[in-house]
Amino acid sequence: MPDEPKTLDPTARPATTTVPAATTTAPPGAAAGDSPARARAQRWTLGLVTVGLVLAALNLRPAITSLGALLEEVSAGLHMSGTVAGVLTSVPPLCFAVFGITAPRLARRFGPAAVVCAGMAAIFTGLILRPFAGGTVGFLAASALALMGIAVSNVLMPVIVKRYFPDRIGSMTGLYSMALALGTSVAAAATVPMTAALGGDWRIGLGVWAAIAALAVLPWIPLVRDRDRATAETRTATAAGTAAPRITRSRTAWALGCYFGLQATGAYITMGWMPQIFRDAGVPASTAGVLLAVTMVMGVPLAFVIPRLATRMKNQGPIVVALGLCGLAGYTGLFLAPAAGAWVWAVLLGVSNCSFPLALTMIGMRSRTGAGVVRLSAFAQSVGYLISIPGPLLVGVLYQHSGGWGLPIVLMGGLMVPQMIVGTLAGRDRTVEDES
């Protein structure tokens, strides 16, 4: 997929532009003929965007994993049933499916940097309000606000990377992915001990994560007026998209959507329920949080290894099966000896959850054109997040009515089988253009 052009018509670069780097895709060195002041401004802006990307990525999961670590205390404090707690763990994929769709339109209207800035502000507002909501409804509403910010920012992060760093997409995406995994794992590991250190009140333990979200707003503020080129880029992409294939006619597109949905189901069940599974098995709360952190941090090294391996293979089915078998082994261990082999199961499930970068890689490989990749990505992720919504809720219902974790874990392990099947179909060496 070709990158966007790295030079622009000089008439498209007025001297009065507020943020110089936002109107060019040139690297920090700037184009020949630029003044030293303009070059310095470009380097400063790209540095600011780098900081903004890292801080934004750090905030894209703590709202979820910090809640998973304290789910028992939150459920007791708000008098939630297992079913209601299951609804709570289903809110993230629902928000991602509903609000993520609005991101392209918002970016066309206001510019992607402005939307990311607003997304970080929404995360901060939701996180600061959520712990002090008067009841379950208010808690859910504040959580939805934070997740809305996560949804639109999640969609636009790759757009920001390609726009400001067209010649360093791989390295910047790696930096962003590492920050995302780091934020996920740190929130999972630190929430319980930090709550204990602050007096044991779960409300304070959840609320402290708003401080990092507040910091994440700051780097984006100088970029909020960057609209003109964003509008032109989005219109160009939309026009190109009209020539893209009819995605809904492609079996590969549907297989990718189902694979994305099943791997997301496993990820959100893990983030929402795994600490509780370990705690109910007798593992201390702080250790349960660290176990979740171990699962999440596996994504740091494997997010680099798996995509590179996948692009060297014509058929990604063997990787799909290998990751699925790790998941089956992890769930089998949780069923038979959750506490005795807790660390092993956490690692295996962490490896299995790396189906996410594999799914993104296959999306990029299953179309010949940039416009096709954009449409395929939107289709697969929208379908996938919709598929993932019932999973965490169903686990909560089964847990409440069966009186234990046996049946829910059987469900989790059972979902790995169709995930391997549709993933193998999605990994075949073909494109959506061949089928539609």
Tens-place pLDDT, residues 44-81 = 888 888 999 999 989 998 988 888 778 888 888 888 77
pTM assigned to the model: 0.68
Give me the pLDDT at residue 306, please: 83
Mean pLDDT of 272-289: 88
Q: What share of the chain is helix, strand, coil (3-state, %, to 5)?
A: 80, 0, 20
More confident position, 35 or 342:
342
Whether 264 contacts 385, CB under 8 Å: yes
Sign of the alpha-carbon torsion through 38, 39, 45, 46: positive
Comparing 5-14, 25-34, 126-135, 158-167, the range with the smallest average pLDDT is 5-14
CB count in 10 Å sphere of residue 370: 17
Give me the pLDDT at residue 2, please: 41
Residue 295 reports pLDDT greater than 60:
yes
Q: Could you tell me the pLDDT band of residue 162, with boundaries at 50, 70 and 90?
A: low
Long-range contacts of 12-16 (CB under 8 A, 24+ apart): 12/229
More confident position, 238 or 361:
361
CA distance linking residue 214 with residue 345, whole number of Å: 35
Whether 427 contacts 322, CB under 8 Å: no
More confident position, 157 or 330:
330
CA distance linking residue 346 with residue 338, whole number of Å: 10
Amino acid making up residue 428: R
Cα 97 → chain centroid: 12
Comparing 29-33, 76-80, 326-330, the range with the smallest average pLDDT is 29-33
Mean pLDDT of 133-144: 86
- Show the tokens assigned to 120: 């970080």
Mean pLDDT of 346-356: 92
Mean pLDDT of 361-365: 79
Per residue in 196-206, pLDDT tens? Answer: 888 888 889 89
Q: Could you tell me the pLDDT band of residue 174, with boundaries at 50, 70 and 90?
A: low
